[in-house]
Structure formats: C-alpha cells, structure tokens
Amino acid sequence: MPARPLLVLASGSPRRLELLNQAGIEPDRLLPADLDETPQRNEHPRSLAKRLSKAKAEVAAKALRELDIDGPSYIVAADTVVSVGRQILPKGELVDDAVANLRTLSGRTHRVYTGVCLIGPRGALRQRLIETRVRFKRLSRQDIDSYIASGEWRGKAGSYAIQGLAGSFVVRLVGSYTNVVGLPLYETLALLAGEGYDIHARWKAATVATEDA
C-alpha cells in the first residue's frame, strides 16, 4: 500500500493550525520558515503577501528534503499583510508600532491580503491571493489603551486579532473572515483538492482514530 501523503504546514502560527483543525485536518509536520519579512522598496502589499508565502513554502520544501523523508508531500504556506492603500502596516512587535497601527486603522477601511502557496507531490507550485476589506469603527483612546493592555496585538499583522477583542472594532467585513484570521480556508482547501489531496479521507481517518481512542 502506498504511503499516505504528508501534509506540512510551513508556519508556526497557532491560528493557522487551529483553522486547519477546524476544517478537520491535522498537519503531519509544522516547518515554520524564519524569513526577513521586510517589504522591498515600493513593494505593493499584494506582491509582498505572494512573495513571502512562496518563499516560506520553498524554505519548508528544502527543510523536508534535508530531513530525508520519503514519500509524497503537500506543503502549505501563507503570509498575511494588512494595508491602508499602499501603506503596509507592520506586525505588532513594539507598543509604539501597535498604537500607530490602531490609530491608522481607526474609522477607516483597510485591506487584508493573504498569499497561500502550495507545493504538491510532483513539485508543482500553485498560489492564490485572497483579499478582504475590513472597516473599523472610530477608536477612542480608551479603546486603543485597553487593547494594547490586552496583549492580543503581539505578533499579529496590522497589530490586531479579529477573532479576539478586536472583533468588536469591526463595522463591516467584505470577503473571507478566515483570511483575516490568517488562512483563508475555502481557497486553501481548493488548492489542496486541485492537487489531488483527499480531504475526506483525512476526515474518515480522524473519525476512526477518535472511535478507537
């Protein structure tokens, strides 16, 4: 019997893992890529999301080869970018940057781009770029101070997590909600299915494992 293909998530993001789990999929390996995510000069947010997702997938593919693991594999990578116009907002790492991001987002519509990249068993590379428009209410100083105190902004694109307290800031959302969380599920599963990944077989295997536990 041929070996079951491995599913590799090229990310250490708990949110992306939770989203795949939500879809009934448990990756076999997590191979996060340590990349310089600094935008290039005059780089458009869309281009940045696509470039970084491709680079993450390629780094994970190289790491998998170095592990000398035989058999077919599917490697999924993603990168999420938040922008206002062409202005790319940095990930929340420092308080000052997070405060600046929230002030920029206050009362405005911004765009969330996620590039998803898949490297299939035959080495073919396929990409999707998903865009969601999000409008925030006008944030008071107390809104911003309280959100900063929560710590939810740390490490998040645009310095907010829509699945947490910042969900209360959203006035309107047009597009994929899971895209804003960090991994657009519909498009990711469509990429996998297009390369022959049997999602339903994974569901059945998970059900059997649960019953046998």
Type of residue numbered 30 = L
Strand, helix or coil for residue 189: helix
The two beta strands, 6-9 and 73-84, are parallel
How far, in whole angstroms, is CA 58 from its chain's centroid? 16
Q: Is the CB of residue 107 less than 8 Å from the CB of residue 144?
A: no
Instruction: Determine the Cα–Cα distance for residues 105 and 163; give it in Å rounded to an integer.
Output: 17
Catalytic site residue from 28, 34, 68, 79:
79
**How many angstroms separate the most distant Cα atoms in the chain?**
62
With the C-alpha atoms ordered 198, 203, 208, 213, is the resulting torsion angle positive or negative?
positive
Q: Is 79 a catalytic residue?
A: yes
Residues noted as catalytic = 79
